[in-house]
Amino acid sequence: MHYRIDDHVASLVLDSQHNRNALSRQLVGELLENLDRAENDEDVKVVLIRAKGPTFCSGADMAEAREDGMEKAAHVLVDLQRRIATFAKPVVTRVQGSVRAGGIGIVAASDIAVTAEHATYAFTEVRLGLTPAAISLSVLPRMTDRAAALTFLTGDVFDGRAAEQMGLVTRAVPADLLNLETDEICASLAKGNPQGLRETKRLIGQPLVDRIDRYGDDLAKLSARLFGSEEAKAAMLAFLNRKK
């Protein structure tokens, strides 16, 4: 992960392209460490989470999830969403490419999300005998009920423009305008008084934090139960065989 500060904006750049920026122990640890760093730096008013490569984030590192247990992996994702939601400064995500699973949780937990129109999203869990339990904590408050039903139940891929229409992201723009749009939003946020930004974010975000605290543990357990089921194991094996 890379970290830099420009004009009161701390950029946290996911750069683990060998596994499509999957949320490995290392990447999550670096993300949390740099969030702490930005929160404690008085010069930082805004945090921008972005990524290198064609993928913003592919979700959990499945090899590590199998090793550590899915409940632990789900709890990590719950905790990461809560950290973003309770962060004392506005968090912006810039989505330049495909995003799946836990990556969508990061996008939804952020205060503002800007995406390239061509970026792709999908809740593919249903096709593997699973459900997007942990990320639903932040995703469901953003999307309309109809949009959630359509995307969760079909597992179909949709683009950034559709994500904007559904409420999942704030704005979708052509790829060549993504940097400009993101920079302009961050610059506007950086004009805010630190106390005003902190208290306004808390005012807006408290229902999301309450939801995470109320349902997080149960949804992590649901993820683990479904992941360990024979039906899901068979579906995932069939999926892997189709990819060969």
Domain boundaries, the chain: 2-178
pLDDT tens, residue order, the chain (244 aa): 899 999 999 999 999 989 999 999 999 999 999 999 999 999 999 999 999 999 999 998 878 877 877 889 899 999 999 999 999 999 999 999 999 999 999 999 999 999 999 999 999 999 999 999 999 999 999 999 999 999 999 999 999 999 999 999 999 999 999 999 999 999 999 999 999 999 999 999 999 999 999 999 999 999 999 988 999 888 878 876 776 5
The rounded distance, in Å, linking the Cα atoms of 50 and 36 is: 17
Q: Give me the sign of the Cα torsion angle 80, 105, 59, 237.
A: positive
Residue 4: strand, helix, or coil = strand
pLDDT for position 237: 81
pLDDT for position 243: 60
* Reduced 3-state DSSP string for 74-125: HHHHHHHHHHHHHCCCCEEEEECCEEECHHHHHHHHCCEEEEECCCEEECHH
pTM of the shown model: 0.95
Query: 53's torsion region: left (phi>0), alpha (psi -120 to 50) or beta?
Result: left
Report pLDDT for 244. Answer: 55
pLDDT confidence of residue 137: 98
Alpha helices in the chain (DSSP H): 25-39, 62-68, 70-86, 102-109, 136-142, 145-154, 160-166, 178-190, 194-227, 230-243
Pairing of strands 171-173, 120-122: unpaired
CATH of domain 2-178: 3.90.226.10
